[in-house]
Amino acid sequence: MQKKFGITVFLIFAVLLTGMIDTSQSSGMSDDAIKRKIESEVGRTSGLMADKVRIAVENGYVVLYGTVDRYIHKILFEKVAWKTEGVEEVDNEIRVVPEFPQTDAAIERRIKEIVKTYRQFQASNIGVTVKAGAVKIRITLNHPADIIFLKNKIAEIAGVTSIDIMADFAA
């Protein structure tokens, strides 16, 4: 009995290694079904317009490409894709092309207003650089969740094309 069990386990392992079983579609969803679910959820997500974003799916691997006018929309498209059953990996190639670009100085002012407005950032050391809408921030924070909160707040600012946050955490 034990010998049969060992042989069975070995055969299953050998089959998996040789690629005879496609494990990437373990959810049983086809690529078309995954794409339709993502498109459907995008249609129900407030603020997302899918007319300039395309979705490609192969073996559960999703590529998002096209353009959006705000960075927050890029983030939301990726979140929708990741939450979809059957998705193995997401590559977000969406470019941000602001409909109403702002000056770098205006974006920087808005970021500093965010830092002043929210209590968790008020004691933080922050350095902000904005160049052609690309935001780079160096900040000291108390909690890792503050990075996500800050990134989402900055992503709502019109004219932001990318966000790079380098954070240190207070001891």
Domain that holds residue 114: 104-169
115-171 pLDDT, tens digit each: 999 998 888 889 999 999 999 999 999 899 999 999 999 999 999 999 999 999 886
149 lies in a domain? Answer: yes
Q: For residue 59, give the CATH number of its domain.
A: 3.30.1340.30
- Domain identity same for 48 and 32: yes
Mean pLDDT for the chain? 86
How far, in Å, CA of 112 to CA of 47, rounded?
Answer: 25
Tell me, yes or no, whether 29 and 87 share the same domain: yes
For the residues 43-47, what does the mean pLDDT come to? Answer: 83
Instruction: Examine residue 10 and state whether it is found in any structural domain, yes or no.
Output: no
The Cβ-side half-sphere exposure at 50, using a 13 Å CA radius, reads 18
Q: Assess whether 124 and 67 both reside in one domain.
A: no
Q: How many domains does the chain have?
A: 2
| Sheet with strand 89-96: strands edge to edge | 53-58, 61-68, 89-96
